[in-house]
Structure 1
Amino acid sequence: MNANPLLKGSLQTIILKLLEDNSQMYGYEITQRVKEVSEGSIVLTEGALYPALHKLEADGFLETFTQVVDNRVRKYYRLTDAGGKEVTSKLSEAQAFIDQLQTLLNLKPATK
């Protein structure tokens, strides 16, 4: 994953939103979708992705199931009902933060 700490703090939100939009995805598919949407600017590593997925699952926001594809077992992730509510919450938090950040970054110096 990019070494950007802002990205690290947003990873769960990104995962939840992707799963909301796609109903179910497997790990590699998530990494490729992020890379595609960000035009290569954001590259998720397995070392960043899977701990985030496991945490979301442990928190009850994701459930998993396996499916055999081309003679290989693939583990899929999808939102639980609680995960669907968490997406809304995380997106609201992210938007509020972005709005506050834009306000702070666009401040004009105080004139004396």
Structure 2
Amino acid sequence: MSNSKLYKGSLSTIILKLLSKEDKMYGYEITQRVKELTKGELKITEGALYPALHKLEADGLLEVEMQKVDNRLRKYYKLTQKGTTETVSKLEELERFMETMNGLMNPKPSLG
């Protein structure tokens, strides 16, 4: 999609949703999963991903676990209990937004 700005407001929700399905993920893994799930339509840059991850961590929604992989430390992100609760809330909010947008894009003819 040429206009990734449409996705920008949903980045936190996308991250939370992915982490709700996985025990933990590292940054590059998140970008690749999004690319795979959207068939290449959405590519999250490091410049967008890491500030979002850091904000979610600062808000208490994610915790970080360091793990040594191939002699390098890798930062894994996982949901906290608060993050799990917030994920449900964010997904409900996104669902309502999509229903509203769908109503605007495909209005039902009025009967009156």
TM bucket (normalised to shorter chain) is: over 0.9
Q: In structure 1, what is the Cα distance between the partners aligned to 2:3 and 2:28?
A: 19
Give 1:63's aligned residue: 63
Give 1:27's aligned residue: 27
Q: In structure 2, what is the Cα distance between the partners aligned to 1:108 and 1:88?
A: 29
Offset of 1:108 from its aligned partner?
5.8
Closer, same or farther in 2 for the Cα pair 1:98/1:12, shift >3 Å?
A: same
What are the ranges of 5 or more consecutive residues in structure 2 without an aligned counterpart?
Answer: none
Considering only aligned residues, what root-mean-square deviation do their CA atoms show, in Å?
Answer: 1.6
TM-score (norm. length: structure 1): 0.92
* Number of residues of Structure 1 aligned to a counterpart in Structure 2: 110
What are the ranges of 5 or more consecutive residues in structure 1 without an aligned counterpart?
Answer: none
TM-score (norm. length: structure 2): 0.92
Q: In structure 2, what is the Cα distance between the partners aligned to 1:34 and 1:17?
A: 11
Sequence identity (%): 60
Offset of 1:6 from its aligned partner?
1.8
Q: Which letter does structure 2 place at the counterpart of 1:74? A: R
Give 1:53's aligned residue: 53
